[in-house]
Amino acid sequence: METLEGFNKILVRTIDEVLRYSLGDRTVEIFYDYLRRKGFILSKIPQDPDFFFEELRKILEFEGYGMRFRRVSGIGIVSILERTVIEVLCKKFGLEFNEKGPIIFSEWVEKVRETYIIKHSKLRLNSRNGGENCREEGQHFSGGR
């Protein structure tokens, strides 16, 4: 379970980093406050990433006066953010991400999570065996569902 918990912490941290870099600290804090008022805490993101990004879509699609992203669709912005999170996550874990076109964020979170758990299980097993067979080839992600 510690491996899964480690992945979840890295996922939440990566989402936070990407959002803060892309939208700014103040915007992200306002969004987090909005989620807290709805009863959603950030530690729930790994269990329900779709809810998190659907709420972000709702906020960014709002057509109010002074809207920060008036000329760009909220749907498009969130799709770019989701893709960026997966790309950064893959880089953190030494994985290649070569997917073309739109992605389904929750499916990609699951793919990366499974790879992370397998990789860490092998590393733990290898350290118990004195490092035998410790060489691991790079995992390559591309295309298809």
Q: Which amino acid is at 61?
A: E
CA gap 90, 6 in Å, rounded: 15
DSSP helix/strand/coil, 141: strand
Position 3 scores a pLDDT of: 81
The percentage of residues in the chain with a pLDDT greater than 90, rounded to a whole number, is 51
Mean per-residue pLDDT, 24-41: 94
Residues 14 and 92: beta-carbon distance below 8 Å: yes
The architecture of the domain spanning 2-130 is: Orthogonal Bundle (1.10)
Q: Which two tokens stand for residue 105?
A: 């964020």
- Please count the other Cβ atoms lying within 10 Å of the Cβ belonging to residue 118: 12
Convert the pLDDT of each residue in 41-88 to its tens digit: 999 999 999 899 999 888 887 655 555 555 545 457 888 999 999 999
Give the pLDDT band (50/70/90) at residue 92. very high
Categorize the per-residue pLDDT at 1 as very low, low, confident or very high, splitting at 50, 70 and 90: low
For 39, 67, 78, 107, 129, the CA distances from 60, given in Å and listed in that order, are: 20, 8, 8, 23, 51
